[in-house]
Amino acid sequence: MPELPEVEVTRLSFADRIAGSRILSVTLGKPLRWPLGCSTAELLGQQVIGVRRRGKYLLLDLERGLLLLHLGMSGSLGFAASLPPAGPHDHFELLTSHGSLRLNDPRRFGAVVFAPNEDSPIACKLLGRLGMEPLSAGFDLLVFQRGLKARRGQIKQVLLAGDLVVGVGNIYACEALFQAGIRPTVRAARLSSSRVAKLHAAVREVLSKAVQMGGSTLRDFSNAHGDAGHFQLEAMVYGRAGQSCKVCGGPIKSIRQGQRSSFFCHTCQRN
DNA sequence: CCATATACCTGGCAGC
DNA sequence: TGCTGCCAGGTATATG
């Protein structure tokens, strides 16, 4: 579930409330993708300064160091003064003076990793190859254009790779390509500059609209308040194989690209 | 260096 | 009802 919009919506739903709190206890469940990388004692008593986002990572700034949180495929966070008893899929919990922050992640592709600072090896390993932030002013059209020109792969795969632009996952790659009228199988390097400009705008528009709609809830995503998102109702192509295109009425196609499903309209998305 | 395949893990669903 | 196989929002790592 968690692409950039879901991660940002999650951040917005608890950042203000947790900021300034102090960590009172740490509870670990089953192993996640990587080990925490520090003792729980190292976290106790530390103040939570704030919550930032980089790509699909949340960065919990502490007095000394930071926690990198990733929601993987099935993760979600909850934050409340008091949470229900922990279930079998709750694998990390910070009890703070402002409330409890809990990660629920059935598939456990997510992670919570401590880094002493942003230049530490572990932080560089996880964040170092990330591309431009699509919703920031730093999402430069010319850099995007040059980056695409240098790629031999298909545009959908290049978007998903995350080393040119971050945060675009399977749902929003499909949606942005539809909005830009670009077929997901086109070689990135073959896109004209006007189509690249269209795609650049489409990525921004689709992601920011999704943030406004609270993200997409396909199965069980919710923000840290427990609210579901609604963007999935706006989807033009994702998950709509065989249904009719909302623009031209033609059938939405589904294909496989790099072991993942892509959805597109053969008529509205040409070359 | 680049592009593609694999692995990680659980649960929901279609089909038999 | 219960079994099997396939599919799912991500991405580091291995392989070619």
DSSP string, A82-142: S-PPP-TTEEEEEEETTEEEEEE-TT---EEEEESSTTSHHHHHHHTT--B-TTSTT--HH
How far is it between the farthest Cα atoms of chain A? 59
Chain B nucleotides covered by protein, CB below 7 Å: 2-12
Looking at residue A110, its pLDDT comes to 98
pTM of the prediction? Answer: 0.97
Is residue A56 part of the annotated active site? The answer reads yes
Is residue A3 part of the annotated active site? The answer reads yes
Q: Within 7 Å: CB of A239 and strand B? A: no
Spatial separation of the C-alpha atoms in residues A72 and A56, rounded to whole Å:
9
Which of A11, A17, A53, A56 is the catalytic position? A56
Question: In the structure, how far is the CA atom of residue A76 from the C1' atom of nucleotide B9, in angstroms?
Answer: 16
Is residue A260 part of the annotated active site? The answer reads yes
Looking at residue A218, its pLDDT comes to 85
Chain C nucleotides covered by protein, CB below 7 Å: 7-13
Question: In the structure, how far is the CA atom of residue A146 from the C1' atom of nucleotide B11, in angstroms?
Answer: 42
- Identify which of A70, A74, A67 has the alpha carbon closest to the alpha carbon of residue A57: A70
Spatial separation of the C-alpha atoms in residues A17 and A251, rounded to whole Å:
45
Looking at residue A232, its pLDDT comes to 87
Q: Within 7 Å: CB of A219 and strand B? A: yes
In contact, A58 and A129? CB cutoff 8 Å: no
Looking at residue A220, its pLDDT comes to 79
Question: In the structure, how far is the CA atom of residue A140 from the C1' atom of nucleotide B11, in angstroms?
Answer: 40
Is residue A2 part of the annotated active site? The answer reads yes
A241 closest-nt by C1' vs CA: C7
Looking at residue A219, its pLDDT comes to 80
Enumerate residue ranges in chain A where pLDDT < 70. Answer: 1
Looking at residue A1, its pLDDT comes to 58
Question: In the structure, how far is the CA atom of residue A192 from the C1' atom of nucleotide B12, in angstroms?
Answer: 42
Strand B interface, A 31-60, C-beta < 7 A: 33
